Structure formats: C-alpha cells, structure tokens
Chain A
Amino acid sequence: MAEESYPEDLKYHPEHDWARIEGDTATLGITWYGQDALGELVHYEPPDVGATLSKDGAYGEVESVKAVSDLIAPLSGEVLEANEKVVDAPETVNEDPYGEGWLVRIRIADPSEADALMDAQSYTSHLASL
C-alpha cells in the first residue's frame, strides 16, 4: 500500500479523481484518499477506447471486496487508452495510485475545464473538511 501523498503537478476533482495534463492529453486516476476509502481493489471496469467522457460524469467503475464506486471524469474528452495492467491487477491502484495505477488517457475536449479543478493544496483542504 502506498504512503499518503497528493502530488503538486496534478489537478484534483472533489470526487477523489486526479488528472495529469500534458498538452492536449490527460492521464486520469483516483487519489490516495479514494483508493484508501475503497480498500484493496479487485476490479476495474474501464471505458472503451474512443468513448467520450464528460466532466463530472461517470466513465467506469472500480470495486473492492466491500464496495463498488463510479469513476468521475475530472475533464471531458475522448478515451485514447485504458490501463490494461490495472484491468489485470487492480491492486496496482493501491500500490501506486499516481504512477502505474493510472486508469485512462484521454484527448482533452475543452482545456478551460481544467480551471475548475483544484490544486494539491485545495484538495488537501477539501479532504480536511470531509
């Protein structure tokens, strides 16, 4: 299990999803807090490549022994790739939520949407308020 951390280079959605924006693409995943709340993941139901994500909408599911949770898109876009490693070994998300445990890579539809996301500091304050 990874140590709690919230990298500075990521953007955060209040539903415990993160986005790493690189030009017109972004990599998405769930935060340390999100994976910790679920417990060890046993299933990842990814979206199809080519599917359209809309910001704040559900794009897939992750599941632990005790619960299933929708994945909430922090940004709108088109799915370029889903992380097959996580499909085969969902616990990768618990071990490395911001690295090997990424979930999906998208082409960003509207770069201005990123302005509504939180930085690491705001997200940490958001967690403190929960």
Chain B
Amino acid sequence: MVPFAGWEMPVQYEGVIPEHRAVREGAGAFDVSHMGEIEVEGPRARELLQSLLSNDLDRLDAGSAQYTLLTNDAGGIVDDLIAYEFDPFRYLLIVNASNRAEDFAWLKEREVPGSDVRDVSDEYGLIAVQGPRALERLELPAAPAFTFAEGAVAGVACMVNRTGYTGEEGAELMVMAEDAGELWDAVLDRGVTPCGLGARDSLRIEVCYPLHGNDIGPDTDAISAGLGWVCALDKDFTGVEELRRIREAGPERRLAAFVMEERAVPRQGMPILEGGDVTSGTHSPMLDRGIGLGYVPAALAQPGTELTIDVRGRSRRARVVQKPIYQREE
C-alpha cells in the first residue's frame, strides 16, 4: 500500500504483470474511489463550464460525456477530466484526486449567479471494470463510449459510465460511498481480477493516456501534449488566445511516445539526450520492452526518429512510435 492524495492505495494485489494481462485479455477492476467528483448545477452551469473547459459542450447531449481540460490563462492544464451532462442545467466532473481541492477552488472562485459548484467527492465511490470480458462479467449490454446511464450491477444501483483509462472496453461504476464495498465484492465475485495502481499506470502508458502531474500540468499546454483534439479553439475559454498562438506558430516541443530499442526501463525524469525528459516510463508487459512518453523538440517527434535515453548514466537507444504504443491486433 502507498499513500496517494490522502488515500491508502494498493500498488498491486497479485502482481503488476498478471493484473495488466488480466485487463488486456479478460477483465480487471480498479477501486478509483479516490477520484474527485464535482457537480455544477443551475441555469448558468453550462455557460460557466463552457468558459472554463477546453472542449465544446455543444458536442454533448444529456447522457453523454467528454474528455476535456481545465485550462489556465497561459493555456496550461490545471487538470484533465471527464465532464458528464445530465441535462444542460446539471453537469458532473470527474477529476484527478490530487487536483480535487484545486479544481474545486478554481471553479468556485469563478462561479456566477445561477451556477452552483459543489464538491461531492465524499458521497461517491468509483469502480472501474476494464477489459474485453468486462461487460460480460458485469452482465451489462454494450453501449457507445462516453455515454452513461443509471443502472445496477448485482443489484447495487450505480451510474454506469462507458469510460476508462486502459484503452479497453468496460465501464466505470459510480456508486453511493456506503454501497461501494458491496459493489467491489460483487464485481470480484464475478471473476474480475482486482488491480492496483501499478497496472493502472502501465496500462495507460501503453495507450498513451497522459497522467496529470507527469505528462501534463499547469506549465504544459494542450497543443504540445497532443491534446489539441479536446480544445475547441473556435470558442472562448480560459487561455484560448495562447493556445491559438501555439497552434498557429507550431509547438516548440511535443509529447512523443517511444519504445526502447535496447533492454532498459525508462522512468520519469530521465534525460533524453537529444533534448527533453521522460515524463512517464515503464516496462510494457504486452511488448515486453521499455516504453515511455516524453517531451522532445518538435522536429524529433516524428515516428521513426531515434532517441537516446540516459538510464542512470547509461545511454540506451529508443525510437519514436505512433501513438498508441500498444493496440490490440484485430
């Protein structure tokens, strides 16, 4: 167990590699109740969020969700989150645990009459069930990604969100906190493998999902991070001018994905000798190689470019690849 954002979190149950494989080949469950939930309600809720979040809420309908960014004046990323629309007067934001307090304060300060921002994190538990067999194990029908609906698993009422952080099919079940233990046990009873933070990290790096605090943060912008697709530059939101400027001029550096060409495991903070650092790195259980993400000069972000990673004083060759690093062979 390790402390994480005020929670005690398991790094692993059985082991990172078997847990990782369970999610790629069967079904794995993650207790992500540490994540923050913020509700924004009122006749001007939509207007408030439209001015603070990078993605366009016009693309959402009731019962759908989108990946989006809370941005600062410099176009930096205060947090990345998923916004769920119940109706145009009520939204739920599921945010990173480590940014929960800051996100809430950020939104609360900018609240306008007719919008009410509430931190409801303590009311809910969240259980992510991911993998090609996840829906079958949960006895849930298939549904489009980034939709959600009221539902139940094993008789426990929950909101079934078709979202995740692994690149696999599955659902994130939002449940009343007092029912979370019962739901967790029910999910495991269905033969789903319990997974810890270790597998959560190696899974998300394989599919190049950024982690706030590692790959993105207040000093990195969405364009350089490859998240331009969640920035509606044709609407007004905090930092949009700066993001338009970066898009226009082209970013100086880009977040590249790479695979080691030699045996070595890249780790966060290791220098990339051609310029930049590793922001996330691990051993990929699916590729059986070291993989990572890191900012490099834009000219070196092209797939095929050779990079050199300083692995504790030893130079190890890596190659830039197309994102995602891992994709199931169909």
Binding site for B on A (CB under 8 A): 39-40, 42-43, 45, 61, 63-66, 68, 87
CA distance A68 to B20 in the complex (A): 19
Task: Report yes or no: B17 in contact with A40, Cβ–Cβ below 8 A.
Answer: yes
Interface check B285, CB cutoff 8 A: yes
Checking B263, B285, B312 against A65 with a beta-carbon cut-off of 8 angstroms, the contacting residue is B285
Minimum CB–CB distance for B244 against chain A, Å:
40
Checking A43, A63, A65, A68 against B16 with a beta-carbon cut-off of 8 angstroms, the contacting residue is A65
Contacts of A40 in B (CB 8 A): 15-17
Task: Report yes or no: A43 in contact with B15, Cβ–Cβ below 8 A.
Answer: no
Task: Report yes or no: A63 in contact with B12, Cβ–Cβ below 8 A.
Answer: no
Task: Report yes or no: B17 in contact with A43, Cβ–Cβ below 8 A.
Answer: no
Interface check B9, CB cutoff 8 A: no
Contacts of B282 in A (CB 8 A): 65
Contacts of B267 in A (CB 8 A): 68
- Chain A binding surface, main DSSP class: strand
Interface check B132, CB cutoff 8 A: no
Minimum CB–CB distance for B327 against chain A, Å:
20
Task: Report yes or no: B265 in contact with A66, Cβ–Cβ below 8 A.
Answer: no
Task: Report yes or no: B263 in contact with A43, Cβ–Cβ below 8 A.
Answer: yes
Minimum CB–CB distance for A93 against chain B, Å:
14
Minimum CB–CB distance for A70 against chain B, Å:
10
Interface check B107, CB cutoff 8 A: no
CA distance A64 to B43 in the complex (A): 52
Nearest-neighbor residue (CB-CB) of B20 within chain A: A65
Interface check B11, CB cutoff 8 A: yes
CA distance A91 to B136 in the complex (A): 32
Contacts of B20 in A (CB 8 A): 65
Task: Report yes or no: B263 in contact with A66, Cβ–Cβ below 8 A.
Answer: no
